[in-house]
Amino acid sequence: MTEQIGQSWPASEQFWRNRRVVVTGGAGFLGSFVVEKLQARGAAEVVVPRSRTYDLTQEAAIVQLLDDARPDIVLHLAARVGGIGANREHPADFFYANLMMGTQLLHQCWRAGVEKFVAIGTVCSYPKYTPVPFKEDDLWNGYPEETNAPYGLAKKMLLVQSQAYRDQYGFNSLFLLPVNLYGPRDNFDLETSHVIPALIRKCVEARRRGEREIVAWGDGSPTREFIYVEDAAEAILLAAERYNESLPVNIGSSYEISIKELTELVARLTGFEGTIVWDTSKPNGQPRRKLDVRRAQELFGFSARTTFEEGLRRTIDWYLRSTEPVAHT
């Protein structure tokens, strides 16, 4: 991990030892890894609110959560998310849920005297045509890609709010912009999943059924950057420990791959040897995504460690184990 010369940060265990932490979305994909890392670092208490008890779109539920948990730090990972298809089907739901959760939670954390608030944004907040690699200073230079703009803009309001509350109240809140995540425990539902779990499931199921083709969306030309979920979880905790400003910070791996190359790689790693059919009636999404990740290195010493192929192998292995047909005796 790269650290600036002369930079001195407290040990992780020392930082978390006496702090109570609320992790919204802590039972989800990314959140489950964040919670495990917090426990390994010796956090005094980690609270994971569940939606059946605390509906974070409701102000009263947020107030109750903060009264019950009395956190020192809140890591806001909860989000209504999905792939291109889900974003096209539910743009209003995605906008409302993400805006209401974030806006009210940050406000009530300030009112409750929470020490630090870490907001997790999304790469979907960037303009559709952003110079590559995406730099944080380009966030406001255009409108996001249309299929996920409602989600991306709702999350970007947390950046505006973070900066406004720091300027007016001195509230210590951060805004991080992770690129697309992947890894074990991801959502593999074909209706709502992102591209990597969708491709893994399609290839594995086709191989198990003896099918000779899979269908992929678009024409394969767009490029994407992905970050392994454990690396993203580490970035969030390092930011919480070491960073105390409201400048937005990209969280990524700096590795770019086309959807066509990705699909072929997933097919190879899953053992699918059939044909890939490209459904060009489906949208491609944003043409390119690759982040400039220097700010994360400079401000809190984060660099992704997991190579893309190694991360894919771990993800595929997990999916194969979790979906292995049960043998009847």
- Residues recognised as catalytic: 151
Contact 57, 253 (CB under 8 A): no
Residue 270 near residue 202 (C-beta atoms within 8 A): no
Contact between 248 and 139 under an 8 Å Cβ cutoff? The reply is: yes
- 116-120 and 73-76 as β-strands: parallel, antiparallel, unpaired? parallel
DSSP string over 149-193: HHHHHHHHHHHHHHHHHHHHH---EEEEEE-EEE-TT----TTT-
In three-state secondary structure terms, 244 is: coil
C-alpha 5/C-alpha 7 separation (Å) is 5
Residues recorded for the chain: 329
Name the residue type at position 193.
Answer: S
CA dihedral 198, 263, 178, 253 (to 10 degrees): 150
- Written as one string, the DSSP assignment of 91-144 is HHHHHHHHHHHHHHHHHHHHHHT-SEEEEE--GGGSBSS-PSSB-GGGTTSSPB
Residue type at 291 in one-letter notation: L
